[in-house]
Amino acid sequence: MATSTAPATVATGRRKPVSQSLVLVGLIVVICVVTTIVNPRFARVTNIINIFQQISILGVVAAGVGMLLVTGNVDISVGSQMSFLGVLVAMIIQKMLGLPQGGVPASQAALGIPLAIAVTFVVGAVMGLINGIVVVKSRAASFIISLGFMSVYHGAALLLSGGASYMLYSNFEWLGRERFFDLLPVSILFFAAMMVLSWLVLKFTRYGRFLYAIGGNKKAAFVSGIRTDRTTIIAFVVVGLCNALAAIILISRVGSALATTGDAYALDSLAAVIVGGVALSGGKGGALNIFLGVLLVGLISNALVVMNVNPFIRDVVIGMITIIAVTIGSMDERK
């Protein structure tokens, strides 16, 4: 008598993993509730606006870093790029406007700020292009290549500035400090625009699908007809453009530029996108992950200040959260 050998369906009993975005939302809510209980000033509208203003520059940088990380590549030279670009934009404005004395022709002064912004974007794109070409052509790990470029751009910023500070004497504040209706900072609008743009790119464009394909399986993406090298280089150029925009906003806010002004944004931006859920190995993550990661980093910084906790603990907390996020992500990938 024949015995049926058809495989029986066996319930695995595994529960569907909880979305990292939901976990982040829950953590953000907990931080907000606890901080508000300790100090009710945290929940004031002015403080909420202040938080978003503080994270606006980080968000612009993280948008580029996050889209690049989707491909499985990383650029840790973004902080040094921002420092160099910040010195560049401040130097051009100072020279064109003849600061601090002034006395330059009106036509030259009128051209100063637009020229500085245009040159900064061009140089930022070139930086990204160089990084991308070297990574693609060398076939070396992007982390190591960008580590080398971090030193290169830091040295270039020192050479360009001569170790000095370039002051703008309140001549370029509207981008970093101006508020619409005396309430909403202009920088927040740039942050929101970058989040929306990254969401549209990753969700609805062919380029966005290419990024995920490269991060998921680069060889398979190449075989399927995707020009992986060109797409990767473009992703690095986008990072350079985001760094240029962030540097311009940063210098407008602080009113001066040093060779180290933007250095801290390298690790902060990478931590934000990793904590948000963008996988280091690529192929996973989106604009919502980037936004939540940036918001969490900003909330932690602000909460520590509002609760009168030693601000130096901030780096410890963010570092520990980053380690936990990477560990959990690696465990999920192995499963």
Which of 59, 299, 313, 21 lies closest to 192, judged by CA? 59
Packing angle of the helix pair 287-306, 45-69 (nearest 10 deg): 140
pTM of full prediction above 0.85: yes
Asked which of 122-136, 137-151, 159-173 is least confident by mean pLDDT, the reply is 159-173
Cβ–Cβ < 8 Å for 287, 203: yes
Which pair of tokens denotes residue 66? Answer: 């996050």
Cβ–Cβ < 8 Å for 260, 83: yes
- pLDDT tops 90 at residue 170: no
pLDDT-above-90 percentage for the chain: 64
Q: Is residue 61 part of a domain?
A: yes
User: Mean per-residue pLDDT for 159-188?
Assistant: 87
Which pair of tokens denotes residue 55? Answer: 């994270």
Strands 184-185, 256-257: pairing is unpaired
Q: Is residue 18 part of a domain?
A: no
Query: Does the bond joining 40 to the residue before it have cis omega, within 30 degrees of 0?
Result: no
User: Mean per-residue pLDDT for 176-183?
Assistant: 83
Distance in angstroms (rounded) separating the CA atoms of residues 325 and 321: 6
Which of 158, 127, 167 lies closest to 252, judged by CA? 167
With tokens 């609805």, the residue in question is 204
Residue 243 has what DSSP assignment? H
Q: Is residue 118 part of a domain?
A: yes
Beta-carbon contacts of 101 under 8 Å, excluding residues fewer than 6 positions away, are none
Q: Is residue 2 part of a domain?
A: no
Distance in angstroms (rounded) separating the CA atoms of residues 220 and 104: 58
Q: What is the CATH number of the domain that holds 299?
A: 1.10.3470
- What is the Cα gyration radius of the chain? 22
Q: Is residue 33 part of a domain?
A: no
Angle at 90 between CA 169 and CA 86, to 5 degrees: 130
247-289: pLDDT as tens digits: 999 999 999 999 999 999 998 999 999 988 898 888 888 999 9
- pLDDT tops 70 at residue 329: no
63-117: pLDDT as tens digits: 999 999 999 999 999 999 999 999 999 999 999 998 888 778 888 888 999 999 9
294-323: pLDDT as tens digits: 999 999 888 988 888 877 788 888 888 888
pLDDT attached to residue 293 = 92
Q: Is residue 159 part of a domain?
A: yes
- Paired strand residues for 256: 167
| Cα dihedral: 224, 226, 227, 233 (round 10) | -140
Distance in angstroms (rounded) separating the CA atoms of residues 120 and 92: 10
pLDDT attached to residue 183 = 82
Distance in angstroms (rounded) separating the CA atoms of residues 172 and 92: 12
Which of 252, 249, 250 lies closest to 260, judged by CA? 250
Q: Is residue 13 part of a domain?
A: no
> Percent helix, strand and coil across the chain, each rounded to 5?
70, 0, 25
Domain of 254 in residue numbering reads as 57-334
Number of compact structural domains in the chain:
1
Residues constituting the chain: 335
Q: Is residue 21 part of a domain?
A: no
Which of 196, 173, 224, 176 lies closest to 286, judged by CA? 196
